[in-house]
Chain A
Amino acid sequence: MITAGLTQRFKVAFDPNSQIFSLAGTIRPRSIDEIAESIHALREAIDAVRGVLYIDVKRLIQMNNTAFQAFIRVALDACRERSDLRLIIITSSVVGWTTRMFRHLSTIEPQISVEVYDSMFYPGQSFVEDTSFIPILRAQTKMTWRHERTILPRHGMRPGIAMADICCGIGDFAVLAQKEFQPARIVALDHSRASLAYARTVAADFGVTGIEYTFGDASEMLLEDNQFDFVTCRHSLQIFNQPELLLKELYRIVKPGGRVYITNEKNSHCLGEPRAQSIQWTYNELARLLSHFEMDVELGPKSRRYLADAGFDDILVESFMVTNLDGDPQDFADVIAGWEKMFAAMATRHGETPEFIDRFRQGFRDHIFAALHPKGYAGWPIWAASGRKPL
């Protein structure tokens, strides 16, 4: 990998195995000479491949015309010289101008095609981005907030800071954080346009201004390095097949000395009385089912290891139990009803038998029964953890 000089904040890399050449960061040279090495790297990558070369510009944040023209010159010349060569340029739906700029290449040169990368980042994404998930997220945040509002200050939340909530969902958490802690800046990022639209409406309805809702891919964010004092990412590492990629990004955008705060579950530890066994069975099966979608909903207690491996220090981990006694038990019941619906759909998709699905659903219903039972108890445990980016 070539990392160009200090003044050029960009990276160029070539992976011969996957035949992917990638350009990332901000490339705004005054003259071509400043990027000669990178141009050369593209030429070499083209020489090294047979058939297709993927040119990945998903993480290209800025590129001026000087750089654009220099790189495409190499690509166009190569196509003219080699009729066997195909170039596939991969842009991101997040960075609007790259798609608009690169799309012309397929008009100019039939050997080049341009693909816009969007969604399907990981196997379970379509379920999570489904709009029917919105009311569940709403109720979940309402319940977790009762705990988190007292937990957050221990992890670095305080007034006047710059914070980001990554995978913000419908944005309730950002609104609550804004009201309670008055940070100076809040950026809230998610990859669901529906959730963001909802978030903006909710904020407007409540007269909350100043939250910067943004569409983005958490594993490849447009946000610059070292910008935030506090970065939160709630209930989301556990749904990515590569949580470490996401953590790397969270690490990148937090300032040295700032903290990243994550919450995750261990679904098999959801519990209830009465009907404990049926509940237990279902949540064990749930963890197993979601692992087929490469989601690790058992991640909670692994937070410490993930944070340490990502390079954080001063790691704090605590857990709390959301229960039916926290507030209105009906809220708890509503969340579980939402889970039942969503997870039964996933079980069907995974090809489980009708008998399995009946029994699976029954556990959620028993959890609801426990939550609403006058002497019942129902719990949903969550791990909240944070780490500091070393100075």
Chain B
Amino acid sequence: MGASVNETTETAFEPLLQFDMEMEIFLSDWQHCDHVSSYLARMISHNRTDPVRHSNFFSSALNELLEVSFRGGTTDGKIGLSIYRQGGTERVQLSFPCPPGQARFYREAVSKTRESDAQARYLDAISNDLAPSRESVLLDLAVNYDARLRLDEREAPAITLIVDLPLEGMVS
């Protein structure tokens, strides 16, 4: 898993938008996570069955991902965000530079989201932890948004989180 990408599904995803920003600017204000997620969610949701609710749902997931990059990213380089669509699913591809050696933690956290005990781990985290960890945030996406997550490390030291969100079917 991880960097291996299935080319056939890849081509079937249609690009919706691409956004990037210098990390230094992104990290200068926490509100960027909220603003960028709300704005982009609205843009990509306008032709969904229920644009308002899709946008709300999508923004919620995207914001968590942006917060992960805000908390874990470094100032050198850019944050890049691409959104694709295939049927009822949006794919978010989020790249950001992170400190050397950190990729391993993301790799582990992502792989836990795909294991059969993801839900149990998530419940354990929310019942005991005071604040969310990187791992519990990704588990939240898997459990509450039915997200499928992967990690692409080909652009090291930047990492790319690839998250498929089948929200259309959940909203309408």
Contacts and interface: CB of A to CB of B under 8 A. Distances in A.
A36 to B, nearest CB: 13
Contact of B144 (A7, A97, A189): A97
A30 B131 CA distance: 11
B59 A65 contact: no
A101 interface: yes
A69 to B, nearest CB: 5
Contact of B171 (A68, A96, A210): A96
A214 B60 contact: no
B52 A214 contact: yes
Given A96-B57, A214-B51, A65 B127 contact: no
Contacts of B171: 96
Contacts, number: 96
A187 B42 CA distance: 12
B75 interface: no
B93 interface: no
Contacts of B143: 104
B160 interface: no
Contacts of A101: 140, 144
A2 interface: no
Interface stretch (A215-223, A296-304, A368-376): A215-223
A277 interface: no
A212 B51 contact: yes
B63 interface: yes
Interface stretch (A70-78, A82-90, A143-151, A287-295): A70-78
Interface string A95-113: 1110011001001110000
A32 interface: yes
Interface string B121-145: 0110011011110001100100111
B56 A66 contact: no
Q: DSSP majority for the A interface?
A: mixed
Contacts of A73: 130
A11 interface: no
Contact of A62 (B47, B59, B132): B59
B126 A70 contact: no
A65 B132 contact: yes
B170 A62 contact: no
Interface string B35-59: 0000000000011011111001101
B123 A108 contact: yes
A200 interface: yes
Given A76-B127, A97-B60, A97-B144, A65 B51 contact: no
Interface residues of A, number: 40
Given A30-B30, A64-B64, A104-B126, A96 B53 contact: yes
A189 B56 CA distance: 15
Contacts of A200: 49
Given A62-B59, A215-B53, A97 B131 contact: no
A384 B146 CA distance: 46
A64 B67 contact: yes
Nearest to A94: B53
B131 A66 contact: yes
A55 to B, nearest CB: 15
A31 B130 CA distance: 11
Given A30-B30, A212-B51, A100 B56 contact: no
A187 B52 contact: yes
Contact of A97 (B30, B34, B136, B145): B145
Contact of B34 (A26, A31, A215): A26
A65 B138 CA distance: 10
B31 interface: yes
Given A69-B130, A96-B170, A212-B46, 13 more contacts: A28-B34, A28-B63, A61-B56, A62-B63, A95-B56, A97-B57, A101-B140, A109-B127, A196-B50, A213-B49, A214-B52, A214-B53, A215-B172
The 8 closest A-B pairs by CB, nearest first: A214-B52, A65-B132, A212-B51, A100-B144, A30-B30, A108-B127, A28-B34, A97-B60
14 contacts: A7-B31, A28-B63, A61-B56, A65-B132, A66-B132, A68-B132, A70-B130, A70-B131, A96-B53, A97-B144, A100-B144, A104-B126, A196-B50, A212-B46
